[in-house]
A and B are shown apart, each in its own frame.
Chain A
Amino acid sequence: MTSTLAPDDARQRADDRLARRGRAVRMGPVSFPLRPRLVAVGLLTALVLFVLVVLNLSVGSTFIPPDRVWANVVGTSYDDYFTIWRVRMPRVVVGMLAGAALAAAGAITQTIMRNPLASPDLLGVTHGASAGVVGVMAFGGSYGIISGPLADIGVPALALTGGLAAGALCYGLAWRGGIDGFRLLLVGVGVSTVLMNLTLWMLTLGDVSDTGRAMVWIAGSLAMSTWQDALPVTVALVLVLPLALVAARTLDVLSYSDEVVRSLGVRLELARTTTLVLAVLLAAFGTSAAGPILFVSLACPQIALRLARTSRPPVLLSALVGAVLTCAADLLARNLISVQLPVGIVTGCLGALYLIYLLVRGNRKVQA
């Protein structure tokens, strides 16, 4: 922000410093700063993710050694085909993708809102999805009525519809000849509160066993994941994530105050609306895959920010951290105790512990 306003000599010095370190990559008309730390952390996170995926595939109620997992994956062996391809693989893929989508959505939201406590929850998405799903579970006579293929498609579709509708509602209510970040935040709080309390109230109405099932969904669970759940979120990630990366520069600018954004010549409303839509789409599809996996969208951007030491939460790294957190949490959720916990509960614990660790270690001023 200061570079545009700084005196010429200060700017010159900053330019020199940048030039000396050679931290810019130019490819024809495109140039972007090269951040070695971001790249290194990204690669390391990807490596951790790979290890976790392998662990997820091999550890479980029956242990399959990694070499046999590999043989099954490349198709030279079919000994554990069912366990690997039908049970564990969909589960780890759905977890990974949902975690990545939620975390990326969180990174975008926190940047636009300029608030480290913001998350797609505040765009109404997760609570809208929860209200839709719990409503059907509580009033729809449990799975007795919606069963079979309808339940398979029904719950994710319901979550997606609920999430997108609530997101649109928030945006529509916050619109008054333009979107104001602060107003959107407060409207989002209002809408989310209504939906959350509706959900809680419906939970007290239902039968206690349905309540249990609904609470598992609310916390986010991968227990029932199939390949079917993976498809929509894959499409969303493939389509939306590149757009979010293209929008990285816009996001950089949007992290400043409205006045600065305008004076830098960015069309504020357009930029904010587009990036918001990206965040809502990512969050809604992520939620529909596995339920609102708790805390991922809030914690992962902050964790990524602190790992990469950037000025705003980096989107791609946040997605990677989200995938890592979800995979690690699911590994623990399946194997920690005899009962399988919903993954969201473990992501809450793990994410919170790690964020606390990072906070204690580097208690210095960070902006979100």
Chain B
Amino acid sequence: MRETTGPPRTPTAPAPTTTAGGAVAARRARRISGLGLMLLLLCLAVLASVLVGARGLSPGTVWLALTSTAGGEADIIVNEIRLPRTALGLLAGISLGLGGALMQGHTRNPLGDPSILGVTFGAALAVVLGIMLLDTTTLYTQAWFAFAGAAVAVVLVYAIGSVPGRGPTPITLALAGTAVSWMAYSLTSGLVLLDQSTMEDFRFWRVGSLVGRDPAILGPMLPVVVLGAVLALTNTRALNALALGEDTARALGFRIGRARVTGLLAITLLTGVTVAACGPIAFVGLIVPHLARGIVGADYRWLLPYSALMGAALLLTADVLGRFLAPPGELQVGVVLAILGAPFFIHIVRRRRLLSL
């Protein structure tokens, strides 16, 4: 009954070595095999994303299309539609999973979602301004506006949420992020309502989707995601310590300010580039860390890789399902995630124990 409200499971930074050595080894083995299982699931999702769709392709055809440059119909489908879409989903899923876990760690709030930092709505505001003032209609140009907007929003949130000389506390950070988000959201809605043609462009941007995005975005996206992921993984030990409270973390010798800056930078890069590439895809960043925490526990060194893999698998699966749910068209991945993902999430919340933060 009361599993979820217990004290936060201790982040096992220094593993107890003396008596429980066997148990620790067993747990590590379990975690590693779990990671392998995730990877397998992700591979299946990737395969499905390439093979399945309005026109199903056999693995042989796909292989042929990949290896030769014959230029047939299958060639075009695979190389110009399915592959970029799958790659985009992969990168976006990894980014959102990592970003969500980082965000929940830094705000220590179960409602922590990458968008809380102002990233999503900052990006939306920039996109709308771009459409209105400069008439940017191509999604590729809009992506740069989105990234710039996301970055500006995060800097603003950090500045507002910081106690002078001490950096942000979880509560001020979350509140500042929410305030900035809402302001950007209000401005966006106001501008869109005043100008119907902008709304016509914008209402499709704001439903996040993997399809119809310019594959050229993948080039600049990849290094940003890699950089963000590396920063995120260097942040794990500090997050474990921060879960015990800032004072404890400081007493353990961690530099709080630096850890926060690293974490927020990683979140900005990961989510900013995802919003730029796919539009706002909500929910992945919010639920994946909770699901991962339910499986692997609160140790961020494991939680982050799990979240990354689960995020990508979930996003790709939702995208594949969206290709069938509303024939002859498709459902956008954000909608599928919400409509199928949320009930699944609720089921998990009801059935399994989730660790509170």
Q: Which residues of B contact A200 (CB under 8 A)?
A: 206-207, 334-335
A201 contacts the other chain (CB 8 A): yes
Whether B111 lies near A118 (C-beta < 8 A) is yes
Q: Shortest Cβ distance from B302 into chain A, in angstroms?
A: 21
Q: Which residues of A contact B174 (CB under 8 A)?
A: 116-117
Q: Shortest Cβ distance from B344 into chain A, in angstroms?
A: 9
Per-residue CB proximity of B310-342 to A under 8 Å, as 1/0? 000000000000000000000110110111011
B298 contacts the other chain (CB 8 A): no
Whether B169 lies near A365 (C-beta < 8 A) is yes
- Tell me which of B160, B175, B189 contacts A345 (CB under 8 A): B189
Q: Shortest Cβ distance from B148 into chain A, in angstroms?
A: 20
A352 contacts the other chain (CB 8 A): yes
Q: Shortest Cβ distance from B181 into chain A, in angstroms?
A: 8
Whether A345 lies near B345 (C-beta < 8 A) is no
B137 contacts the other chain (CB 8 A): no
Q: Shortest Cβ distance from B283 into chain A, in angstroms?
A: 5
State whether A201 and B193 are in contact (beta carbons under 8 Å apart), knowing that A294-B186, A352-B182 are contacts in the complex.
no
Q: Shortest Cβ distance from B297 into chain A, in angstroms?
A: 16
Whether A216 lies near B338 (C-beta < 8 A) is no
Whether B4 lies near A180 (C-beta < 8 A) is yes
Whether B169 lies near A341 (C-beta < 8 A) is no
Q: Which of A195-234 contact B (CB under 8 A)?
A: 196-198, 200-201, 203-204, 208, 211-212, 215-216, 219
B343 contacts the other chain (CB 8 A): yes
Q: Which of B285-300 contact A (CB under 8 A)?
A: 286-287, 290
Whether B196 lies near A212 (C-beta < 8 A) is yes
The CA-CA distance from A354 to B283 in the complex, in Å, is 28
Among A176, A190, A346, A363, the one with the most B-chain Cβ atoms within 10 Å of its Cβ is: A190
Whether B1 lies near A190 (C-beta < 8 A) is no
Interface size range on B against A:
35 or more
Q: Shortest Cβ distance from B353 into chain A, in angstroms?
A: 10
The CA-CA distance from A360 to B180 in the complex, in Å, is 13
The CA-CA distance from A342 to B341 in the complex, in Å, is 32
- Tell me which of A176, A190, A194, A352 contacts B183 (CB under 8 A): A352
Whether B178 lies near A359 (C-beta < 8 A) is no
The CA-CA distance from A364 to B172 in the complex, in Å, is 8
Q: Shortest Cβ distance from B140 into chain A, in angstroms?
A: 22
Tell me whether chain B's interface is mostly helix, strand or loop, or mixed.
Answer: helix
The CA-CA distance from A116 to B110 in the complex, in Å, is 11
A44 contacts the other chain (CB 8 A): no
Q: Shortest Cβ distance from A336 into chain B, in angstroms?
A: 10
- Tell me which of A185, A197, A299, A368 contacts B110 (CB under 8 A): A185
Per-residue CB proximity of B228-252 to A under 8 Å, as 1/0? 0000000000000000000000000
B55 contacts the other chain (CB 8 A): no
Whether B162 lies near A363 (C-beta < 8 A) is yes
Interface segment, B69-77, B197-205, B214-222?
A: B197-205
Q: Which residues of B contact A341 (CB under 8 A)?
A: 190, 193-194
Per-residue CB proximity of B275-291 to A under 8 Å, as 1/0? 00000001100110010
- Tell me which of B160, B183, B207, B346 contacts A360 (CB under 8 A): B160
Q: How many A-B residue pairs have CB under 8 A?
A: 176
Q: Shortest Cβ distance from A353 into chain B, in angstroms?
A: 7
Per-residue CB proximity of A162-198 to B under 8 Å, as 1/0? 0000000000011011101111011101110110111
Interface size range on A against B:
35 or more
A55 contacts the other chain (CB 8 A): no
B109 contacts the other chain (CB 8 A): yes
A366 contacts the other chain (CB 8 A): yes
Per-residue CB proximity of A101-118 to B under 8 Å, as 1/0? 000000000000001111
A351 contacts the other chain (CB 8 A): yes
B354 contacts the other chain (CB 8 A): yes
Q: Shortest Cβ distance from A131 into chain B, in angstroms?
A: 11
State whether A204 and B207 are in contact (beta carbons under 8 Å apart), knowing that A177-B1, A190-B349, A359-B176 are contacts in the complex.
yes
Whether A183 lies near B193 (C-beta < 8 A) is no
Q: Shortest Cβ distance from A165 into chain B, in angstroms?
A: 16
B185 contacts the other chain (CB 8 A): yes
B356 contacts the other chain (CB 8 A): yes
Q: Shortest Cβ distance from A339 into chain B, in angstroms?
A: 6
A169 to B, closest residue via Cβ: B346
Whether A115 lies near B172 (C-beta < 8 A) is no
B176 to A, closest residue via Cβ: A359
Q: Which residues of A contact B116 (CB under 8 A)?
A: 117
Whether A359 lies near B339 (C-beta < 8 A) is no
Q: Which residues of A contact B57 (CB under 8 A)?
A: none
Whether A197 lies near B203 (C-beta < 8 A) is no
Q: Which of A113-166 contact B (CB under 8 A)?
A: 115-118, 122
Whether A215 lies near B189 (C-beta < 8 A) is yes
A356 contacts the other chain (CB 8 A): yes
Whether B349 lies near A186 (C-beta < 8 A) is yes
- Tell me which of A116, A186, A302, A351 contacts B290 (CB under 8 A): A186
B351 to A, closest residue via Cβ: A176
A349 contacts the other chain (CB 8 A): yes
- Tell me which of A122, A346, A356, A366 contacts B186 (CB under 8 A): A346
Q: Which residues of A contact B261 (CB under 8 A)?
A: none
The CA-CA distance from A353 to B184 in the complex, in Å, is 11
A252 contacts the other chain (CB 8 A): no
Q: Shortest Cβ distance from A274 into chain B, in angstroms?
A: 20
B181 to A, closest residue via Cβ: A352
A317 contacts the other chain (CB 8 A): no
The CA-CA distance from A356 to B159 in the complex, in Å, is 10
Per-residue CB proximity of B77-110 to A under 8 Å, as 1/0? 0000000000000000000000000000000011
Of the A-B pairs whose beta carbons lie under 8 Å apart in the complex, a sample of 10, sorted by A's number, is A174-B350, A180-B5, A187-B350, A190-B343, A190-B345, A194-B342, A201-B331, A208-B199, A219-B189, A359-B161
- A residues with CB within 8 A of B: 115-118, 122, 173-174, 176-178, 180-183, 185-187, 189-191, 193-194, 196-198, 200-201, 203-204, 208, 211-212, 215-216, 219, 257-258, 294-295, 298-299, 302, 339, 341-342, 344-349, 351-353, 355-356, 359-360, 363-368
Q: A115-B111, A345-B189, A368-B171 are in contact. List 11 more A-B contacts (CB 8 A).
A: A117-B175, A190-B345, A193-B338, A196-B338, A197-B337, A294-B186, A295-B182, A299-B179, A299-B182, A353-B183, A365-B169
Q: What 8 A-B pairs have minimum CB-CB distances, sorted nearest first?
A: A348-B186, A197-B338, A352-B183, A190-B342, A190-B346, A352-B179, A194-B342, A363-B163
- B residues with CB within 8 A of A: 1-2, 4-5, 109-111, 116, 160-164, 169, 171-172, 174-176, 178-180, 182-183, 185-187, 189-190, 192-194, 196, 199-200, 203-204, 206-207, 282-283, 286-287, 290, 331-332, 334-335, 337-339, 341-343, 345-346, 349-350, 354, 356
